[in-house]
Amino acid sequence: MLKQSLQQKLVQKLTPQQIQVIRLLEVPIMQLDQRIKSEMEENPALEESDFERRSDNEEPLPDDPKDQDELSMDGYLNDDDYIPSYKLYTNNYSPDDEVRETPLSQGHTFHESLMSQLGVLKMSDRQRKLAEYIIGSIDDDGYLRRDLESISDDLAFMQNIEASEEELRQALDIVQGFDPAGVGALTLQECLLLQLNRRNQNSESVQLAIKIISKNFTDFSRKHYDKILSHTGATEQQLKGALEEILKLNPKPGGGYSNPQERTSQPITPDFVLENNDGNLEVILNEHNTPDLRISRTYTNMLEQLAAKAKRTQQDKETINFVKQKIDSAKWFIDAIQQRKITLLSTMRAIVNYQRNYFLDGDEKKLRPMILKDIADITGLDVSTISRVANSKYIQTDFGIYPLKWFFSDSIKTDSGEEVSSREVKSILEEAVRGENKQSPLNDEALADILQKKGYQVARRTVAKYREKLGIPVARMRKEL
């Protein structure tokens, strides 16, 4: 049975400007310029400003008049001194700032390289089509992640080509002969074997490596060296030589052939620059490529002319609504850029003040435990806002460029009750692993004992968590001969 009833609900909705600010907070400096250009392309009422002509061309825009039929232009066009406030800060730039462009090296992508090698081979049109389809199915790591039966079905369905698995296998054999060695493999095991088969077959170490990968791959992946010695009858010295050959292989043969622009090692563009002037720490927001924005004079003139009409047609009213919408949208965006700057600077300054002792000389031991809520409490902002600011942002200091997330860490209590940064514990873990006997690596319990002896109250499961965050494998996987 259906019933109707009235309910009152208190719902908080974000305004368009709040949504703009939230989205812009997540954008790092390297993408902000593109984001602004995209906005200008979508909104012709937003354009790049020229400070030399500022007094003649920029207009401040207040809130919308409620009655559009009685539109007054006084609120829109009455202040020739309006300047976008997000550009009125003297600390926007470092005195040593210099705009540099890094040229991109040209090169072939991974798939272009494979197609180029295919192009010099003599084969029938049918074979070439099959090989081309296989190349197109290879991922960026160099693997063919789909079985030949599925590829055969796709060819029949999408290109009306009936191809047997045997034909596809022949085409795949051709592709697997291309450089880099190991390309087109269906599995890691096949990838390693393809590379080993191109090495010197007269080498005893290569022969043993092939035997290990082809017949003892599971034991190899689990580092069960005793089992490998038992199955192969090899000595420890011979096994060591075979493992050295295997370690030279590339598990991702396509990795070095990604997009040439992606492969180019370009320096990270920091969002902030920290200057230490005799102990006075100053945070500067990097705005090298951020264009100055203003409202288009063409659009404000259009609105002024339409408003001056004694009698407006329906089309005039629709045009006024359209132009006002574009102008208001441009104003929202300019204000969002300003709010982004205020939020970023207040957050970064709070982080620098909180970690002041560290930022003075870069000594990691001086890093205090700091979580998002600590900065949220200082700035009065929401934790989610601090998270958005910290995400994908970098700061340049006298001792390197660091992601903002790097400065956040949990706390660990010592025996004396003092709280220290978990980063200090991780540093001790890394040092212990580096100095361990690789023939008998330290397990998590042994690492926990080391930390506890140094006064850190850390459980074994906590050690496991930190070890995984540091990318350190379990003890069994760190074992060496």
CATH number at residue 418: 1.10.10.60
Q: Are residues 344 and 425 in the same domain?
A: no
Q: Is residue 4 part of a domain?
A: no
Per-residue pLDDT, averaged over 391-417, amounts to 82
Q: Which of 32-36, 75-79, 276-280, 469-473 has the lowest mean pLDDT?
A: 75-79
Q: How far apart are CA 143 and CA 427, in angstroms?
A: 36
Q: Token pair 């490596």 is at which residue? A: 209
Per-residue pLDDT, averaged over 457-463, amounts to 85
Q: Are residues 307 and 251 in the same domain?
A: no
Q: Is residue 63 part of a domain?
A: yes
Q: Is residue 8 part of a domain?
A: no
Report the alpha-carbon angle 268-269-271, nearest 5.
Answer: 125
Q: Is residue 213 part of a domain?
A: yes
Q: Are residues 144 and 249 in the same domain?
A: yes
Give residue 81's pLDDT band: very low, low, confident or very high (50, 70, 90): very low
- The pLDDT tens digits of the residues spanning 155-210 come to 888 888 899 999 999 999 999 999 899 999 999 999 999 999 999 888 999 999 99
pLDDT, residue 460, reads 87
- The pLDDT tens digits of the residues spanning 255-299 come to 765 444 444 445 678 889 999 998 899 999 987 777 788 888 888
Q: How far apart are CA 459 and CA 9, in angstroms?
A: 47
For residue 107, pLDDT over 60 is answered with no
Q: 444 and 433 in contact (C-beta within 8 Å)?
A: no
Domain extent, residue 154, equals 110-257
> What is the reported pTM?
0.52
Q: Are residues 64 and 114 in the same domain?
A: no
For residue 62, pLDDT over 80 is answered with no
- The pLDDT tens digits of the residues spanning 314-354 come to 888 888 888 888 888 888 888 888 888 899 999 999 999 99
For residue 123, pLDDT over 70 is answered with yes
pLDDT, residue 327, reads 86
Domain end point (choices 408, 436, 458): 408
Q: Are residues 332 and 400 in the same domain?
A: yes
Domain end point (choices 207, 236, 257): 257
C-alpha distances (whole Å) from 67 to each of 304, 310, 321, 323 are 16, 16, 11, 15
What lies within 8 Å, CB to CB, of 71 at 6+ separation is 65, 303, 307, 320
Q: Are residues 319 and 449 in the same domain?
A: no
Give residue 86's pLDDT band: very low, low, confident or very high (50, 70, 90): very low
Q: 320 and 306 in contact (C-beta within 8 Å)?
A: yes
Domain end point (choices 383, 408, 433): 408
Q: Are residues 223 and 210 in the same domain?
A: yes
Q: Is residue 104 part of a domain?
A: no
For residue 87, pLDDT over 80 is answered with no
Nearest to 96 by CA among 267, 268, 274: 274
C-alpha distances (whole Å) from 40 to each of 166, 295, 297 are 55, 10, 14
C-alpha distances (whole Å) from 204 to each of 240, 242, 282, 301, 439 are 12, 8, 62, 84, 24
Per-residue pLDDT, averaged over 443-457, amounts to 87
Q: Are residues 418 and 404 in the same domain?
A: no
Domain count for the chain:
3
Per-residue pLDDT, averaged over 4-23, amounts to 67
Q: Is residue 6 part of a domain?
A: no
Q: Are residues 252 and 119 in the same domain?
A: yes
For residue 428, pLDDT over 60 is answered with yes
What lies within 8 Å, CB to CB, of 202 at 6+ separation is none
Q: Is residue 100 part of a domain?
A: no
User: 5 or 367: whose pLDDT is higher?
Assistant: 367
* Euclidean distance between the first and the last CA atom of the chain, given in angstroms as a whole number: 76
Distance of CA 267 to the CA centre of its chain: 14
pLDDT, residue 205, reads 93
Q: Are residues 176 and 230 in the same domain?
A: yes
